[in-house]
Structure 1
Amino acid sequence: MTSASPVLHSEHIRDEAILARLGYKQELRREFTPLEVFGVAFSIIGLLPSIASVLSNVMPNGGALSMVWGWLFACVFIMCIGLAMAELASAAPTSGGLYYWTYSLASPRCRNFLSWIVGYANTIAAIAGLAAVDWACAIQIAAAVSIASNQVYVTTNGRIYGIFAALVLSHAVLVSFGTQVLARLQRLYIFLNVCLCLIVIIALPIATPSEFRNSASYALGDFTNLNGWPSGFAFILSLLAPLWTIGGYDSSVHMSEETSNAATAIPWAIVASIAVSAALGWGINISLAFCMGSDLEGVLNTPIGQPMAQIFYNSFGQKGALAVWSLVIVAQYMMGSSCLLVGSRQSFAFSRDGGLPLSRYFYRINSYTGTPVNTVWLGASLSLVIGLLAFASTEAINAIFTLTVTSSYISYITPIVTRFAFKNDFKPGPFNLGRFSFPVAAIAVSWMVFMNIVFFFPTTPETTAQEMNYTLVVLGGFMSLAILWYYCPKYGGVHWFNGPVSNIASADKGDDDESALGKMGKGEE
């Protein structure tokens, strides 16, 4: 036995005690260290592959200026969201996270309904997140084939869906493995993502031929507007790039019951993943702005089908671009596995509390792997369904990127607001902002409400039914079904859903308002 083992054992006992006071018994294995839970959030952010995935959104909405300064501007608000969430995570480190906090902090009159809404918004965010990541990965694989064929190969949405389906199914197999395997993989994910960032920040400017190098005045100040919106609104629309890239930081929260020293490790994983991604991402965007050339329409309409792949092709040549791009695909693939990992834990927690249809089936731990295999395959199956939007139009499938952000923000806004809007006995955990808690939360909520409205707008001011923004249709349809099911006569959730339900057998749980489930932060007393 190593000298660290007694310390780790003590941390596990404390973690289990905190979880018990929150109303749950320990069912999952605490295999994730603080570094590895940071790795989950950092790999889901997947900095370079994520920037590559949404570069086609930011380039026509401001070009270099939006890429460089829009990134920095958005990161200030992203950090406010992360700080507000980190406080809640420190007070109640449970896999249920967002919907648990909502229930614990809201008024008894509405907490069941609000918890239900947050649970479903968080579920659709996880499913859409996996679909968006694997769809982007499929496009990246098609771009690699195009590079290898000297831009002769041309793909279709049908071919990309086939690649997408194979990626999703392979992720389902991988994430069904034991927790220890998945935890150790996070260190590899961190290493690869950092290496990719450094390649673009350092090697790309060195390799770029003079004809593709831009001046400082262009890279830091040129505003190119190709989509037709007024320049100010175009700049705001470009912010989807940083907001989607540095997203999913609630992933650390859903790993709370598999993390050692969760009340401290989880909030710091949220804050650190945002801070590191903001700094490295800014460096990447500056490097791209200097090395992408000035023909943005040519880069966007490349036969390769992927703007960043074209930039790499111009700078590194065919073989060099293919080598670097292969690493991007690997990082994107890892990102997809982390998305499904976290989404399965969120679905498991929501099923534990009876929120999902067939919850009794999905609330199961596989006896061999010690993981919730059923919710892994649930998330994968629903992502395959969402991917069918590709057969409607390119604009329809692209809506999964804004869908991920908007549904996530619904699930973020609600618990942050309930903390301050209702009378409750919130007690901070080890991580807290003190007197800055309310102003940071107010900034975060105002920003998320504003951006959610913005992301319902179409790509261009003049649009057709086929080119419309399908985010509102998909999100509105999904949430409408969730609300209809909640209020369904006789069978609806309003008749049986009671929010988080303790699974610890005890004769003295007390009533709902005085139970552990109604007292956030008691685990730190």
Structure 2
Amino acid sequence: MRQSSDANADEALARMGYKSELPRNLSMLSVLGLSFAIMAAPYGLSTTLYITLTDGQSVSIIWGWVLVTLISIAIAASLAEICAVYPTAGGVYYWSAMLSTKEWAPMMSFIDGWLTLVGNWTVTLSITFGGAQLILSAISLWNEEFVANEWQTILTFWAVIGVCAAVNIFFSKYLDLINKVCIYWTAISVVVILITLLTMADDRRDGAFVFAHYDASQSGWPSGWAFFVGLLQAGYTLTGYGMVAAMCEEVQNPHREVPKAIVLSVVAAGITGLVYLIPLLFVLPDVKLLLNVASGQPVGLIFKMATGSAGGGFGLLFLILGIMMFAGIGALTAASRCTYAFARDGAIPGFRLWRKVNKRLDVPVWAIILSTIIDCLLGLIYFGSTAAFNSFTGVATICLSTSYGVPILINVIRGRQAVKESTFSLGRFGYAINILTVCWIVLAVAIFCMPVSLPVDAQSMNYASVVFAGFAAISVTWYVIYARKHFTGPPVSSDQVDLAGVMTGKAVVDPEMAAERDEMVDMKK
């Protein structure tokens, strides 16, 4: 039965112009776990807690999370609707080409491909870099005067991402199990933290503080605008759901399972985050004390003060660090598949190497190595700015949000014709949901380029726009030198894809069209 399902999925992939090179050994639960792992709500909310403590506190933390969760569900549903029609590792890059006209397809796919690629790389970077900072912050639970220097932070970061790369290369056959274990680890961790905090803490806040307290006096921004700047915490955490589209070629029945995983992972992350945040706010110590933590990561101190001991604080922090490792492994998995898919169409310098799949390990080893090296080099920005993590989170959120918005916008402009028969249809609410998501993404790009607080200097500036501009310059240069003449987007155009066959895996392909498509694919290779 499974062989038949795999064969159908491979045939559907061939109709979209690609040969299946990766084993289909991931289930829907595994992809759900991967997406859930990348978002890693408790970890993401912990490492970015300083943002909302500065920009609004409880109202920004709780209601900002609820607001962004609802918007993220709308974006995820919009992407899932398209994914059900075009389930390929190219993800939003491929969708942008298929939804565009023949003339615009190469440019739209090239732009969106680079946005996706940079977004995948920087999400992986922000997860592993923030993890390194959190690991080092654990030392301050015993030695409050300890402040990690730049080299200690960078070396710890390289160690974390090195472990993630090793797992992806040498233990890829266990990724299905790892992704499933992540779900249980996260759920158990949240329950343990909730019970421990509420039973051991001596001092508790009241409900009015947890759900209605608003104080933006630390931000320097106008009071109302500080709330929107604080949305970076939730916006960054709830970003990675679209990355799992890159796993379509490793899933059975991807046209059904991946869209479900995309949406359900956001719902699960939203609920998990809320359950984690509420008890955290009930035991929240003095905010000024938390913002003055030398490491910039206050969550360990919260755990220490609630449990009454450094050991108890570290025990809870260890659960968050476990979630971080799942997130780092999952993010690098998705980033490497995105790199592989984009290189497969000749869109990256040196693409002939990055698109290779190691036959013994069944993974795109060189794509994993490239993603790791890029992140290791970007981490060096920390030597120039101690606010580097804020820049990484900002550029990751900007790039991924924009990459999601491009195919959604094209879909609306083209009258949503391509998704009329989608197995994950939004029905009559499609236009409203799509337009809402595009409007939010435009606002988010502006918000996430802003510093957390005012005034700013060279050390506290948000360099997200600078990193974004740097990658834009690289992509434009590559387009002018090579891609302008050689890059044509995916190997087949939208009018050559048998949508019925892609969505069912069983359609009969017209012989003449199949021959033409095969010839184009061979020329592309």
TM-score by length of 2: 0.92
State the 1:302 CA deviation: 2.1
Aligned residue number for residue 257 of structure 1:
249
Aligned equivalents of 1:391 and 1:522: distance in 2?
52
Structure 1 residues 357, 207: closer, same or farther in 2, change over 3 A? same
Paired residues for 1:95-244 under 5 Å: 95-147=89-141, 149-177=142-170, 179-210=172-203, 213-225=204-216, 226-244=218-236
Q: Secondary structure at the match of 2:347?
A: coil
Paired residues for 1:318-329 under 5 Å: 318-329=310-321
CA contact (8 A) 2:42 2:272 kept: no
CA contact (8 A) 2:99 2:494 kept: no
State the 1:304 CA deviation: 5.4
State the 1:265 CA deviation: 0.8
Per-residue CA shift, 1:226-248, capped at 9, x if unaligned? Answer: 11101111000111111111110
State the 1:281 CA deviation: 0.8
Q: Which moves more between the two structures, 477-486 or 371-380?
A: 477-486
State the 1:478 CA deviation: 0.9
Aligned equivalents of 2:359 and 2:265: distance in 1?
33
Matched, 1:468 2:468: no
State the 1:513 CA deviation: 5.6
Matched, 1:54 2:48: yes
Aligned equivalents of 2:416 and 2:181: distance in 1?
42
Q: Which moves more between the two structures, 421-430 or 319-328?
A: 421-430
Structure 1 residues 145, 45: closer, same or farther in 2, change over 3 A? same
Aligned residue number for residue 302 of structure 1:
293
State the 1:497 CA deviation: 0.2
State the 1:323 CA deviation: 1.2
CA contact (8 A) 1:31 1:258 kept: yes
Aligned equivalents of 2:348 and 2:212: distance in 1?
49
Q: Which moves more between the two structures, 327-336 or 477-486?
A: 477-486
RMSD: 1.6
Runs of 4+ in structure 1 off by over 4 angstroms are 519-522
Aligned equivalents of 1:273 and 1:513: distance in 2?
29
Aligned equivalents of 2:473 and 2:137: distance in 1?
37
State the 1:78 CA deviation: 0.9
Q: Which moves more between the two structures, 15-24 or 77-86?
A: 15-24
1:514 to 470, 487, 495: 495
State the 1:424 CA deviation: 7.8
Aligned equivalents of 1:74 and 1:302: distance in 2?
27
Letter in 2 for 1:386: L
Matched, 1:28 2:9: no
Aligned equivalents of 2:230 and 2:451: distance in 1?
12
Aligned equivalents of 1:53 and 1:513: distance in 2?
42
Letter in 2 for 1:29: P
Q: Secondary structure at the match of 2:221?
A: coil
Per-residue CA shift, 1:69-98, capped at 9, x if unaligned? Answer: 111122111111111011011111100011
1:67 to 61, 68, 90: 61
CA contact (8 A) 2:221 2:453 kept: yes
Per-residue CA shift, 1:487-512, capped at 9, x if unaligned? Answer: x2xx331101010126xxxxxxxxx4
Q: Which runs of 5+ in 1 are unaligned?
A: 1-5, 503-511
CA contact (8 A) 2:412 2:435 kept: no
Aligned equivalents of 1:132 and 1:29: distance in 2?
29
TM-score by length of 1: 0.92
Letter in 1 for 2:451: P
Aligned residue number for residue 523 of structure 1:
502
Letter in 2 for 1:18: A
CA contact (8 A) 2:239 2:401 kept: no
State the 1:31 CA deviation: 0.5
Q: Which runs of 5+ in 2 are unaligned?
A: 505-525
Letter in 2 for 1:199: V
Equivalent pairs, count: 501
State the 1:332 CA deviation: 0.4
Identity %: 27
